[in-house]
Structure 1
């Protein structure tokens, strides 16, 4: 995948343990879309602003996201390496090797994640009218195996794997979005409501069979959610217009990730939900706060 100047690409995995006690998110960025250094850069070289973001939820908790320069990035048809961490796809399993240092308190984060899709979807969706942003929910219904040495952690669960790429910064094209993915008895459901910069919308309600075959569904009823600790407004959808918060994963001035309880496609599910406010992200004060969580390796 080529990434144009000023553009981006990322590979995203999230997983929740079968007992609901643990969660993980891994995002490998080329052209880190939330990087203040990339936003401030005059050269707009995406490969010079790459990172692997790893977050552990539950106990123990951990956060790592060190931005790295072009010389620390290598990739081919099956492998992407960013610094000491790497993602490898062998045709059936995505293996992620993590070797990072946590922030703000430094400690080693070392382990492996294996994502086993039950099926691969046929192709990407365009999120904007101009076709500059593409989202491909590659494997909405997957299994995940987490094995960390530092900290000591082992669990299995359900997972989701997608990729996004774009030609211009997200904040140029979008004002906000909400997204959720739910594991169903057979397959998965994704709800994706996008508010574009021009005021138009792209609302996707999709069900995926275990083999990855997509099927549009009628959009469920809007369901209110309480604002975050940062007073970020958010909402979701459900069959009966109701949803409840189970766990807060991330709470930032412009972004939240949570675990919900809702009813989707006639099933009681626990969606992983995110809300993103790109108007807030554009605020210079918010961007000035980000290096605290996202150090940059200048080597």
Structure 2
């Protein structure tokens, strides 16, 4: 959905989204990070009821777990990313959330609680821990419906907590706050006040809902329209470490930003 090539194709009318597919992989280590997001055309994309393949990488669902096989080249500094990621949900939720009044943007927290097993050959990395799996989908460009959003998810003593706040182009807001237990049962709660966080190097605004002060522990991605961070906050009386995303769609649609994107997202 952030493809500059797809955005260019849409300027002439409806474009085929399957002609603009990519598997995005981001690895963060003390010794540096690796990033891959190579776009490929329809001829490199294959789908069945339980598999999705883009070029040399693919995802497969066996009814109990999602296995992601990665074989990509990092950019802008070339480096192999190859290995397997296995996502094992404790439960699959059934509820998706409409994000705007037109009903053309949806979000589905498919597996709020999951275990993730990472086994990479390049770079040599093995890890197991808490994980999450969701999906955004719709039939209109994101930038036509939203100006920005803030999203966060963290593990709690009893499951997981998710915050999703979006500012729509008409000035209204979506503001979701919910917890999930390992069985996938959801409980909505009133979001606490927003705490302003330090802007990124690209001056992208960040905030998070928290009952007390919040702190940025680490900025993982700092891009002209997007930031990914690790944030500490307090929710429902519990300290929580959150994976946090800030997205500025006003920035994303700027011609200068569109011209910069191919450096991070090449197309084969």
Q: Quick one: distance in 2 between partners of 1:293 and 1:224?
A: 28
Q: What's the counterpart of residue 228 of structure 2?
A: 257
Instruction: Provide TM-score, normalisation by structure 2.
Output: 0.96
Counterpart of 1:85 (choices 39, 57, 71) is 57
Q: What does 1:1-299 correspond to in 2, within 5 Å?
A: 33-41=1-9, 42=12, 44-60=15-31, 61-240=33-212, 242-297=213-268
Q: Quick one: distance in 2 between partners of 1:203 and 1:274?
A: 15
Give the Å deviation of 1:227: 0.5
Query: Aligned residue pairs: how many?
Result: 264
1:51 counterpart SS class? coil
Q: Quick one: distance in 2 between partners of 1:88 and 1:66?
A: 19
Q: Quick one: distance in 2 between partners of 1:128 and 1:92?
A: 32
Instruction: Give ranges in structure 1 of 5+ residues lacking alignment.
Output: 1-32
C-alpha RMSD over aligned residues? 0.9
Give the Å deviation of 1:265: 2.1
Give the Å deviation of 1:137: 0.3
Note the alpha carbon deviations across 1:237-266, whole angstroms, 9 max, x for none: 0122x1101111100010000001111122
Instruction: Give ranges in structure 2 of 5+ residues lacking alignment.
Output: none
2:24 counterpart SS class? strand
Instruction: Provide TM-score, normalisation by structure 1.
Output: 0.87
2:22 counterpart SS class? strand
1:47 counterpart SS class? helix
Give the Å deviation of 1:221: 2.0
1:193 counterpart SS class? strand
Runs of 4 or more consecutive aligned structure 1 residues displaced over 2 Å after TM superposition:
none
Does the 8 A contact of 1:122 with 1:213 survive in 2? no
Q: Quick one: distance in 2 between partners of 1:71 and 1:146?
A: 29
